[in-house]
Amino acid sequence: MAIKPIPGERELLVKIASGDEHAFKVLFKSYYHNLGKYVYQLTGSITVAEEIVQDTFIKVWLKKEFLIEVKNFSNYIFILCRNHTYNEMQKKATERSFIDRLSHRISDEKNNENPDTLSEKYRDLVEQAIEKLPPQAQKVYLMSRDERMKYEEIAQALNISPVTVKKHIQYANKFIAAELSSKVNIAIVGVLMSTLILS
């Protein structure tokens, strides 16, 4: 799969290496969709594709200081994503299901922790935030996120209006982001809250 470099990419990488969160957001949005489509073709799961691409970019952020040494980022991110996908598929083949990466309790972050371990902890934080949502908002949010139901479908299933569904999801997104912002770098919050829309 060929992914074209984005304009001004070298400058973005230098900024990200120094901790520029806006530059990271630009880079993430530029590659997220194409990488997501690629992983989806391999796994057949939008949810798994989202997690793999998100985890890949979390690794990039956690090791951002090394980006200035990367000569071809489009090739670099593709290889990272491809390898992560193959690793996950291998786990699924040998264990018949993906490892539940969200089951471990969060412990204090340490600078020398493995990025894979950290991404698992970040996802666990998301699940903990979801558990704190009011019951109806939580139900609506999970129906949208996990079951990929449209607003109208959720409204019909719960006998509420689509406007109410939208308000619940907006509230849930703001609540989860607020919960994460005090515990996770804002750049990673943006990655974790992203969704993949294939077109």
Assigned CATH class of 9-95: mainly alpha
Assigned CATH class of 115-192: mainly alpha
User: Would you kindly state where each structural domain of the chain is located, as residue ranges?
Assistant: 9-95, 115-192
Q: Let me know if the fold of 9-95 is the same as that of 115-192.
A: no
What pTM does this model have? 0.58
d(CA 43, CA 1): 15
Burial class of residue 85 in the structure, from the number of CB atoms within 10 Å of its CB (0-12 exposed, 13-18 middle, 19+ buried): buried
Instruction: Report the chain (199 residues): mean pLDDT per 10 consecutive residues.
Output: 76 93 92 90 85 90 91 90 85 50 39 56 82 91 84 90 88 82 68 63
CA distances from 79 to 15, 61, 142 (A): 22, 16, 31
Cα angle, residue 149 at apex, residues 195 and 45 outer, rounded to 5°? 55
pLDDT at 19: 92
Q: Tell me if 43 sits within 8 A of 35, measured CB to CB.
A: no
